[in-house]
Amino acid sequence: METISAPETLTTERLFIRRPRLDDAESVFTRYDSDVDVTRFLGWARHDWVEQTLEFLQYSNQKWEQDQVGPYLIFDKMNDRLLGGTGLEYESKALASTGYVLARDSWGSGYATEALHAIVEIARGLPISSVYALCHPEHIASVRVLEKCGFNLEAKLSNHIEFPNLELSGKSDVLHYSLCTQ
Ligand SMILES: CC(C)(COP(=O)(O)OP(=O)(O)OC[C@H]1O[C@@H](n2cnc3c(N)ncnc32)[C@H](O)[C@@H]1OP(=O)(O)O)[C@@H](O)C(=O)NCCC(=O)NCCS
């Protein structure tokens, strides 16, 4: 794969977005990784211990070393408050996945849309042709974020993935959104 480095830091109108560090574990854990409301529709299990968040940040470092892109943290540019996380992960030479999560007190201000717009711009600078995101069919706010950022609904995949924080057994339907970046 042609290696092009994504920026490790960037700013938008209201946000400072950067590569995570291991010493972010406590704030990431406290702000959103351990929150029941925040993690409800996420594809990874809510963290019960800060060590699980640290493991994720170690994984993040591996991804950055290997791919020169990976997870990002989102901060309020004005006061350095941690708002959430996002990122880009290669799925293949031509395809990357994305996602986003905000602390509960940061919902409803357009931050996810602003952060995802920035991620799309980063993706346009990488040697991939499209970015995709998966979303629970009932997660209206996330669907809106994807639509506002220009993602198109490609398919509703039946019984496709488990949502580990929902009280369900087995796999759920999921919406597959994608955006062409070339
Ligand atoms: C989903 C999430 C990222 C949205 O973040 P946000 O910063 O509040 O999103 P934005 O403000 O940029 O946009 C949300 C849009 O959804 C709309 N919306 C929110 N809740 C809604 C609801 N119940 N019904 C209809 N629209 C809704 C908002 O009005 C807004 O659209 P608008 O700008 O057209 O008015 C945030 O709620 C979150 O972090 N949730 C927990 C983690 C998560 O589920 N991540 C996504 C996994 S797929």
Q: Residues enclosing ligand 1, CB less than 6 A?
A: 38, 41-42, 84, 99-102, 107-113, 135, 139-142, 144-145
Of ligand 1's atoms, which has the minimum distance to the CA of residue 113? 12
What is the distance in A from the centroid of ligand 1 to the CA of 32? 15
Cβ count within 10 A of residue 54: 18
| C-alpha to C-alpha distance for 84 and 33, rounded to whole angstroms | 9
Contact 69, 75 (CB under 8 A): no
What CATH number is associated with residue 103? Answer: 3.40.630.30
Q: How far is the CA of 70 from the centre of ligand 1 (A)?
A: 23
Nearest CA to ligand 1 atom 19: 141
> What confidence score (pLDDT) does residue 123 get?
97
Query: Closest residue (by CA) to atom 17 of ligand 1?
Result: 141
Place of tokens 């398919």: 155
The per-residue pLDDT for 1 is 53
Q: Which domain holds residue 54?
A: 9-128
In a domain, 99, yes or no: yes
Rg value, the chain, Cα: 16
Distance 143 CA to ligand 1 centre (A): 8
Number of independent structural domains in the chain: 1
**What's the rounded Cα separation, in Å, for the pair 80 and 17?**
10
Q: Whose CA is nearest to atom 41 of ligand 1?
A: 38
Buried/exposed code over 90-126 (b: 16+ C-beta within 10 A; e: otherwise):
beeeeebebbbbbbeebeeeebbbbbbbbbbebbeeb
In a domain? residue 180: no
Provide the pLDDT for residue 168.
79
- Per-residue model confidence as pLDDT tens for the chain (182 residues): 557 999 999 999 999 999 999 999 999 999 999 999 999 999 999 999 999 999 999 999 999 999 999 999 999 999 999 999 999 999 999 999 999 999 999 999 999 999 999 999 999 999 999 999 999 999 999 999 999 999 999 999 999 999 999 987 799 999 999 999 98
108 C-alpha to ligand 1 centroid (Å): 6
Closest CA to 97 of 15, 7, 43, 178: 178
- Among 162, 114, 106, 168, smallest CA distance to 134 is for 162
Domain assignment of residue 146, yes or no: no
Q: Residue 143 CA: which ligand 1 atom is closest?
A: 16
- For residue 55, tell me if it sits in a domain: yes
Structure tokens at 116: 């995802």
Amino acid letter, 117: H
**Token digits of residue 180:** 């062409």
Answer whether residue 1 is part of any domain: no
